Amino acid sequence: MRKPVMIVAAASAIAVVLGSMSFAPVALADSDLVATGKKVAENRKKGNCFTCHAYKGAKMAGNVGPPLVAMKARFPDKAKLRAQIADATATNPNSMMPPFGRHAILTDKEIDAVVEWVLTL
């Protein structure tokens, strides 16, 4: 009876090790994307997010827009957050947020990076 238990334990340990190894490159890619998103968001000629939004680490942040906190809870659907950043006027014509995608202020790749960064807040 001990052999099957040992085999299951060994197989489980191997699965855990192999599983964690397969996710390592994805985590690195995500951290690079998050760092890029932060740079775009804080670039005065691009996102300039801190002009209107307060968030952790923002210096002299504005308060015209809502604070960027608990963003995963507020936007569990990443596509809705992306749509909000790309063109907030699509769902709220009175939004003061610039339509970053529609006006080509940000590229699709830059919007994707900003979305990944915002979801860390």
Q: What is the pLDDT of residues 77-116, one digit of tens each?
A: 999 999 999 999 999 999 999 999 999 999 999 999 999 9
Residue 17 lies in a domain: no
pTM for the predicted model, two decimal places = 0.74
Residue 3 lies in a domain: no
Residue 25 lies in a domain: no
- For residue 53, count CB atoms less than 10 angstroms from its CB and return exposed for 0-12, middle for 13-18, buried for 19 or more: buried
| CATH at 79 | 1.10.760.10
pLDDT above 90: residue 43? yes
Domain count within the chain: 1
Residue 61 lies in a domain: yes
Q: What is the pLDDT of residues 6-42, one digit of tens each?
A: 554 555 555 444 454 444 444 445 889 999 999 999 9
CA atoms of 34 and 7, how far apart (whole Å): 40
Range of the domain at 106: 33-118
